[in-house]
């Protein structure tokens, strides 16, 4: 089984719908330790990205990802714009000229995306950021592919690892971003970036795992 260009478009639309439905929830999480705008920013940015998708819908997967990334950089405020923009642009570079993705291709794209976010945000696992959801998701995806799991199972395991990583941010003290200004008071709150990252990979598993 491979992920086709149309599958990628379906995933992006599904994630956009998840962001719209969870806009207030993400903003509430962000109000506890941030600027209270993560949900609204991500929803606005993805609506803009999805509005531009038809103009590149006949292109390769890398071009789709790069279009999303560039739009997010241009339309999303705060840290989320540059970080999610970088995520999709690096995934696009790794997927250049591909019309479909194998599980190995998706793992490579996710790895490039994660490395881009790390380079851009200078965060490490344990800093209470989106890295804490994306890192275990990638490790688990690569292990699942290595174990010979089919695409659906590999995606499911990856999303489950992201969910656990998201939950594991709750007791952490933030060391990056706006939340770090709170110091010890940031503990006890789930990181909004890790949450939106989990939602992204859950949408991929739900869309591509069918």
The per-residue pLDDT for 33 is 81
Provide the CATH number for the domain around residue 199.
1.25.40.340
Taking only the tens of pLDDT, the chain with its 210 residues reads 799 999 999 999 999 999 999 999 999 998 988 888 999 999 999 999 999 999 999 999 999 999 999 999 999 877 889 999 999 999 999 999 999 999 999 999 999 999 999 999 999 999 899 999 999 999 999 999 999 999 999 999 999 999 999 999 999 888 877 777 677 877 989 999 999 999 999 999 999 987
Query: In which domain, by residue range, is 110 found?
Result: 3-208
Q: CA dihedral in degrees (121, 125, 128, 129; nearest 10)?
A: 40
Number of domains the chain contains: 1
The per-residue pLDDT for 55 is 96
pTM of the model: 0.96
Q: 122, 23 in Cβ contact below 8 A?
A: no
Q: CA dihedral in degrees (51, 75, 159, 163; nearest 10)?
A: -140
Long-range contacts formed by 15-23: CB under 8 A, 24+ apart: 15/46, 15/199, 15/200, 15/203, 15/204, 16/46, 16/47, 16/49, 16/50, 18/199, 18/202, 18/203, 19/43, 19/46, 19/196, 19/199, 20/46, 20/47, 22/199
């Amino acid at each position: 089984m491979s992920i086709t260009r149309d599958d990628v478009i379906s995933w992006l639309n599904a994630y956009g719908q998840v962001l719209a439905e969870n806009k207030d929830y993400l903003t509430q999480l962000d109000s506890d330790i941030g600027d209270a705008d993560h949900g609204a920013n991500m929803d606005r940015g993805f609506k803009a990205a999805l509005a531009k998708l038809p103009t590149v819908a006949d292109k390769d997967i890398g071009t789709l990802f790069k279009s999303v990334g560039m739009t997010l950089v241009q339309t999303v405020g705060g840290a989320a714009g540059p970080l999610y923009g970088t995520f999709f642009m690096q995934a696009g570079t790794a997927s250049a000229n591909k019309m479909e993705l194998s599980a190995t291709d998706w793992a490579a794209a996710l790895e490039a995306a994660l490395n881009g976010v790390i380079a851009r945000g200078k965060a490490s696992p344990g800093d209470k950021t989106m890295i804490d959801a994306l890192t275990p998701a990638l490790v688990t995806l690569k292990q699942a592919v290595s174990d010979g799991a089919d695409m659906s199972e590999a995606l499911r395991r990856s999303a489950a690892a992201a969910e656990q990583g998201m939950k594991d941010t709750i007791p952490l003290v933030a060391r990056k971003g706006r939340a770090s200004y709170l110091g010890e008071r940031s503990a006890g709150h789930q990181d909004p970036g890790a949450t939106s990252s989990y939602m992204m990979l859950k949408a991929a598993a739900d869309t591509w795992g069918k």
